[in-house]
Chains A and B, each alone.
Chain A
Amino acid sequence: MNTTTNTTTRAQTASNTDLLTIALVAFMGLGLVFITGFAHVPVLHDSAHDVRHSIGFACH
């Protein structure tokens, strides 16, 4: 009985993603969206201009 419970718990823990990995993935996503949607750097703004307008990000 005890063994079964332990195995289940361990299996579940192993399949769960650790928080650091989740934070890293979320941070990468936010970084990309910041670059295309929010950065004021002219070269980024100009390249992403039409995308910002079409997605509805505030643009110039």
Chain B
Amino acid sequence: MLKKLVASALFAGLAAGVVASVLHFAMLVPIIVEAEQYESGQLTHFTAAPDTAAQPAADDGPDTSLWHRDTDPVHRGIMTFGMELITYTGFALILIALFAVAERYGHQVTAREGILWGLAGFLALHVAPAAGLPPETPGIPAADITARQMWWIGTALATGVGIALIAFGRSLALSALALVLIVIPHVIGAPHLEELSGVVPPSLEGLFAGRSIAVAALSWSVLGFLAGWFWSRNRAA
């Protein structure tokens, strides 16, 4: 049983990871590279004074000390590809576990329905967190990492449970609870620095955030479909 579940998740996760990687390299890497040129001062955004542009490299606190940029593009690409596969396999394992929970309640997930589950994952793990902490290029000073991670996890969890309650709850009270769960992280608010700063042009940041969310939407659709397909195939066997 365990083997079947893990096998389904592996196939779906690796395939979705490949799709996500291709999209990552085609749509996001060029922006990351350009943003790093702003970060290192090779490029300067016209509204930033030269002093400001030079600052991050010299004095950016914990921001740059934690991250040791991989200067070998091939090695960096391989690591990114591997991590992308691992991430989507992780998502797939969670998704398959949820399919198994649904099955215990008499609900059989199909490939077509898997797309809906994938899109729910996309909403919970990407759209809702992005409303408070949009995906950012490297080089943007941000609030305390642990606080942001806690808010991210809380938001993803609350949104996920909220969506499940709307999908499977059979009462008005549960739907109301779902709405409260979905809204509450945004009422609390994501941790942000008091002052906005950064050397990357805002339009480039906007493009990155938009593309990152679009890549996630497509990757999660593929993941949901494949996870549902392998799952229903395994259950029929």
Chain A interface (Cβ < 8 Å from any Cβ of B): 15-18, 21-26, 28-33, 35-38, 40, 42, 45-51, 53-60
Task: Please tell me if the beta carbons of A58 and B133 are within 8 angstroms of each other in the complex.
Answer: yes
How far, in angstroms, from A28 to B93 measured CA to CA in the complex? 7
How far, in angstroms, from A56 to B152 measured CA to CA in the complex? 9
Task: Please tell me if the beta carbons of B145 and A53 are within 8 angstroms of each other in the complex.
Answer: no
* Interface size range of chain B in the complex: 35 or more
Task: Please tell me if the beta carbons of B87 and A60 are within 8 angstroms of each other in the complex.
Answer: no
B75-110 Cβ-contact flags toward A at 8 Å (1 or 0) = 010011011101101111111111011011000000
B1-14 Cβ-contact flags toward A at 8 Å (1 or 0) = 11001100100000
How far, in angstroms, from A26 to B9 measured CA to CA in the complex? 11
User: Which residue of A has the minimal Cβ distance to B79?
Assistant: A47
Task: Please tell me if the beta carbons of B24 and A54 are within 8 angstroms of each other in the complex.
Answer: yes
Contact residues, B181-202 vs A (CB, 8 A): none
A interface SS class: helix
Of B43-51, B59-67, B170-178, the stretch lying at the interface with chain A is B59-67
Contact for B63 among A38, A57, A58, A60, CB less than 8 A: A60
B interface SS class: helix
Chain B CB within 10 Å, residue with most, of A32, A42, A49, A55: A55
Q: Does B154 contact A (CB under 8 A)?
A: no
Task: Please tell me if the beta carbons of B87 and A50 are within 8 angstroms of each other in the complex.
Answer: no
Contact for B87 among A24, A37, A45, CB less than 8 A: A37
Task: Please tell me if the beta carbons of A21 and B2 are within 8 angstroms of each other in the complex.
Answer: yes
How far, in angstroms, from A29 to B93 measured CA to CA in the complex? 5
Of B112-120, B135-143, B158-166, the stretch lying at the interface with chain A is B135-143
Q: A48-B83, A49-B138 are in contact. Are A24 and B68 (CB under 8 A)?
A: no
Contact for A55 among B79, B95, B97, B135, CB less than 8 A: B135
Task: Provide a sorted-by-A list of 26 A–B residue pairs whose CB atoms are within 8 angstroms.
Answer: A15-B235, A16-B100, A16-B103, A18-B1, A22-B5, A22-B97, A23-B97, A25-B2, A28-B90, A29-B90, A29-B95, A36-B90, A45-B67, A46-B67, A46-B79, A48-B87, A49-B69, A51-B24, A51-B83, A53-B136, A54-B28, A56-B133, A56-B135, A56-B213, A56-B216, A60-B145
